[in-house]
Amino acid sequence: MTRTRITGTGSAVPENIRTNFDLEKMVDTTDEWITTRTGIRERRIAAEGEYTSTFATRAAERALEMAGVAAEEIDLIIVATITADFPFPATACLVQSNLGAKKAAAFDIAAACSGFVYGLSIADNAIRGGTARKALVIGAEVLSRIIDWTDRNTCLLFGDGAGAVVVEACEGERGILSTHLHSDGSYWELLYQPGCGSRNPAVQQTLDERKIFLVMQGNEVFKLAVRAMEDAALQALETNRLTPSDISIFIPHQANRRIIDAIGKRLGLGADKVYVNLDRYGNTSAASIPLALDEANRGGRINEGDIVLFDAFGGGLTWGSALVRW
Ligand SMILES: CC(C)(COP(=O)(O)OP(=O)(O)OC[C@H]1O[C@@H](n2cnc3c(N)ncnc32)[C@H](O)[C@@H]1OP(=O)(O)O)[C@@H](O)C(=O)NCCC(=O)NCCS
């Protein structure tokens, strides 16, 4: 049976670190408040001259190196992002050019923080359907450029970075076992960027009204995230006739420590099974799961045959899960 297997992981983050203590000097907040309410201690911020494609390309290069796959062998490049280099062309096309992945089809998807799981699902279907044999799925963001650094409700949560996987058609039992994707557009106003699209184009008025920045209703998002992520995790397990005790490692979207803890508790997972790195990176949206995956993988936390569960939630609203036998 042909399955889609993750054969390489990679990640890349900016060098520049912005700590909670730095934020204390920018908005009315404290390290104690941010740590207690979110679990975040610091985040990475892109420097001038660094773009979403910069980190996407570096993460992809590292994933290709681990997989032992040449860029020229890649059939498909999917970049999940809400902070593309340009409205068009797709950041995936820039990555294709940077890598020299000449035969790859390349496009972006905008599913906010669920983008990586969405991209993985699309790549899995392309590979099992036979239209691609080797693909790159990348989650990459430079959110710092759409954050209002005077808004204490949002500026402490987000960070920049990228994660990537190489996926390949393989025979056998190892690989992606299932993906489940969901959305509910009736909640679109809970988390969005008002400006720079066709409703509020990038003109002076949009800038003056500060509509270029991300806005969020944090409390509502929090409650919906816990419920949706629990449902998506259980759906993945039920589909594969597994129980939470079968999970070797749970890699959830890294938005808020309290959201992750609540889901871990509902699933009955011990802290040793739940991978968390948001203390160092904050919420990197589409990059968060592949960034955490790469750290866990290179840190020796994932072994052959392990059951790995990805669980995502984001603006849209969008959410979903992917279950993998490593
Ligand atoms: C944003 C978030 C951290 C706020 O935490 P919260 O516990 O809901 O906090 P509240 O907004 O209810 O605010 C509680 C109090 O802290 C204050 N406060 C808010 N932001 C603060 C800050 N940065 N520093 C200090 N105090 C702050 C509020 O004014 C409020 O004070 P009050 O009780 O005197 O009115 C939380 O709602 C969250 O993480 N939501 C999910 C966001 C998310 O993950 N989005 C991405 C999804 S992919």
Of the candidates 155, 180, 256, 283, the residue annotated as catalytic is 283
Question: Among 33-37, 96-100, 162-166, 208-212, which stretch is predicted with the lowest mean pLDDT?
Answer: 208-212
Instruction: Identify the H or E element spanning 161.
Output: strand 161-171
Which of residues 138, 172, 206 is at a domain's end?
A: 172
Say how many Å lie between the CA of residue 283 and the centre of ligand 1. Answer: 15
Structure tokens of 202?
């990038």
Residues 212 and 256 in one domain: yes
User: Do 126 and 208 belong together in one domain?
Assistant: no
Average pLDDT, the chain: 97
pLDDT at 1 over 90: no
CA–CA dist 11, 151 (Å, integer): 29
**Is residue 114 located within the same domain as residue 190?**
no
Annotation says 283 is catalytic: yes
Last residue of a domain, one of 126, 142, 172: 172
pLDDT tens-digit map of 111-130: 999 999 999 999 999 999 99
pTM, entire model: 0.97
Q: How far apart are the first and last CA of the chain?
A: 16
CATH no. for residue 52?
3.40.47.10
Q: How many residues does the chain have?
A: 326
Is 230 in contact with 267 (CB distance < 8 Å)?
Answer: yes
- Nearest of 315, 319, 81, 85 to residue 215 by alpha carbon: 315
Atom of ligand 1 nearest to the CA of 155: 23
Collapsed DSSP state (helix, strand, coil) of residue 142: coil
Among protein residues, the one with the nearest Cα to ligand 1's atom 44 is 255
User: Both 145 and 186 in a single domain?
Assistant: no
Residues 58 and 207 in one domain: no
Neighbours of 78 (CB within 10 A): 28
pLDDT at 22: 98
Tell me, yes or no, whether 181 and 312 share the same domain.
yes
Tell me: do 188 and 101 sit in the same domain.
no
Total domains, the chain: 2
Token pair belonging to 295: 């750290």
Q: What pLDDT does 153 receive?
A: 96
Quick: pLDDT tens for 14-68.
999 999 999 999 999 999 999 999 999 999 999 999 999 999 999 999 999 999 9
Statement to judge: residues 123 and 184 lie in one domain: no
Do 150 and 237 reside in the same domain of the chain? no
Q: Which of 172, 193, 210 is the last residue of a domain?
A: 172
Give me the domain span that covers residue 219: 177-325
pLDDT at 9: 98
Question: Residue 165 C-alpha to ligand 1 middle, in angstroms?
Answer: 33
Q: Is the peptide bond before 89 cis (omega within 30 degrees of 0)?
A: yes
Q: How confident is the model at residue 172 (pLDDT cuts 50, 70, 90)?
A: very high
Q: Indicate if 93 belongs to the active site.
A: no
Q: Phi/psi of residue 189, each to 5°?
A: -80, -5
Split at pLDDT 50, 70, 90, the class of 235 is very high
**Same domain as 232, residue 166:** no
> Is ligand 1 within 6 A of the CB of residue 20?
no
Query: What distance in Å separates the CA atoms of residue 72 and residue 15, rounded to the nearest whole number?
Result: 29
- Residues 122 and 223 both lie in one domain: no
Question: Tens digit of pLDDT for each residue in 136-149?
Answer: 999 999 999 999 99
Is 168 in the same domain as 239? no
In the residue annotation, 253 being an active-site residue is answered as yes
Q: How far apart are CA 197 and CA 183, in angstroms?
A: 21
318 three-class SS: strand
- Residue 257 Cα to ligand 1 midpoint, Å, equals 13
Ligand 1 pocket: which of 28, 151, 222, 224 to mutate (most atoms within 8 A of CB): 222
Q: Whose CA is nearest to atom 38 of ligand 1?
A: 218
Q: Which amino acid is at 97?
A: S
Q: Is the CB of 221 under 6 A from ligand 1?
A: yes
Convert the pLDDT of each residue in 64-84 to its tens digit.
999 999 999 999 999 999 999
